[in-house]
Amino acid sequence: MTEVTELSRPAGEALDTKEVLLNLGPQHPSTHGVLRLVLELDGEYVARVDPHIGYLHRGTEKLAESFTYTQIFPLTDRLDYLCPPSNNLAFALAVEKLLGIEAPIRAQYIRVLMAELARISGHLLITGALPMDLGAMTALIYAMREREMVMDLLEMISGARMHTSFCRVGGVREDLPDGFFPKIREFCDIFPNRIRDYERLVENNRVFLKRTQGIGVISAEDGIDLGLSGPNLRASGVDWDIRRDEPYEIYDRLAFNVITRDEGDCYARWRCRVEEMRESVRIIEQCLDQMPEGPFQIDMPTIAFPVNKDKVHCSMEALIQHFDLSAYGFKVPKGEVYSAIEAPKGELGFYIISDGSQKPFRMKVRAPSFVNLQGLFGVSNARYLADMIAVLGSLDPVMAEVDK
């Protein structure tokens, strides 16, 4: 027995411990992009987290200062690349406010319809990706199948699957194509049942529930203090949705519920997104029912290209306007505007200062993922390293938007 006591540590003396620095990322599947988390580990516990971002920084704001307003649309596509129509819409609304114009009603319906399709596409990815990060692979495969349907619909409208750039200042690029309504009705019929499928795949998965329920709790006060928005804040019980509280476009004509949960944990954030997809389907169906006939673009030849080009061919004035618009863009009156919409990730705001020229003097993007990522500071302390993955996944940051 004496040998054993020699080998074991002396009584009353603490074991020598050391904090370990661990790099999670920049290339790590659970970071959903190029995010590097420098973690200070105390055994299995995370003592401190320091996110290093900027690996995808493209200088969107600086670039925008040298682009005309129409040229900026493709830049906004590349912010949150899972849901470009929302970003297009947010930017178009800001410029329209500065110009003092409004898109025709039909265009507004088309934009809202696309924004809600984008919301489904964005939420679908995280609906599947969060369980996958935690080891339940199946949900993602099914979610991707339905996301493909959304992609097909967006492709049908705009010709592009991801970077649609379909919005224009004062409307949208084209009218909806023939045969679109039956396709999207079919999607609206199928999709709610498929949401039920995802829920059933995960609801009884005890590993998923154990790793998300009660994990990464953010209180409402902390959430507001850290600037979280969108489903991340609503999962903490804050009843705030810009679509309802500051209605833009035609959201005041649509009936939908704002989904909130009280728990504020990873599961609540996941659940909020799943429920929101149901509401998006409701909104899309109402859009289809209510959508009036009419122009899809504002009739202002100095701002939007004419739908009917006949005039350009026989009127000198129309020709000059057309040339001017394509060569130099349009001028926006001096002023500043902050315009925010409820993007899938949260409050997406564009702050534009115009000096009266064709290019913005300053364009600031209030990117929801950038702010939501700070939610890591609200939850991560004294948690297991494995919980970090769940927390990170449930906050749903898109790195392209974080890094702008």
Partner 1 sequence: MSVETSLIRTLIAERFGGEIEELGFSHGVHAFASPPDMIVELCQFLKGHPTLRFDFLSDICGVDHYPETLRYEVVYHLYSLPNKWRVRIKCRLGDPPRVPSVTGVWRTANWHEREAWDMYGIRFEGHPDLRRIYMWEGFEGFPQRKDFPLRGYKDTLNPFGAEGPPPTQPDLATKDIP
Residues contributing to the site for partner 1 (CB under 8 A): 53-54, 57, 59, 61-63, 66, 97-98, 224-227, 238, 240, 245-246, 335-340, 347, 349, 351, 353, 362, 364, 366, 370-371, 373-374, 377, 403-404
| Of residues 176 and 367, the one with the C-beta less far from partner 1 | 367
Shortest distance, position 312 Cβ to partner 1, whole Å: 33
Shortest distance, position 66 Cβ to partner 1, whole Å: 6
Task: Please give the Cα distance from 134 to 386 (Å, whole number).
Answer: 9
Shortest distance, position 130 Cβ to partner 1, whole Å: 23
| Of residues 98 and 125, the one with the C-beta less far from partner 1 | 98
Sequence-distant (6+) residues with CB within 8 A of 363 are 61, 64, 65, 72, 350, 351, 352, 353
Shortest distance, position 389 Cβ to partner 1, whole Å: 21
Task: Please give the Cα distance from 311 to 239 (Å, whole number).
Answer: 50
Q: Quick count: other Cβ atoms within 10 Å of Cβ 370?
A: 21
| Of residues 97 and 163, the one with the C-beta less far from partner 1 | 97
Report whether 219 contacts 233 (CB < 8 A): no
Shortest distance, position 227 Cβ to partner 1, whole Å: 3
Shortest distance, position 309 Cβ to partner 1, whole Å: 33
- Within 229-366, residue ranges assigned H as helices are 231-234, 242-245, 266-290, 310-314, 316-328
Shortest distance, position 285 Cβ to partner 1, whole Å: 27
Peptide linkage before 74 cis (omega within 30 of 0): no
Give, in order, the Cα–Cα distances in Å from 359 to each of 126, 329, 332.
Answer: 36, 8, 8
Instruction: Tell me how far apart the 2 most distant CA atoms of the chain are, in Å.
Output: 107
| Of residues 78 and 404, the one with the C-beta less far from partner 1 | 404
| Of residues 224 and 300, the one with the C-beta less far from partner 1 | 224
| Of residues 53 and 110, the one with the C-beta less far from partner 1 | 53
Task: Please give the Cα distance from 120 to 82 (Å, whole number).
Answer: 10
* Residue of 27, 199, 231 lying closest to 122 (CA atoms): 231
388 alpha-carbon distance from chain centroid: 21
- Within 159-249, residue ranges assigned H as helices are 180-203, 206-212, 220-225, 231-234, 242-245
Shortest distance, position 142 Cβ to partner 1, whole Å: 35
| Of residues 90 and 312, the one with the C-beta less far from partner 1 | 90
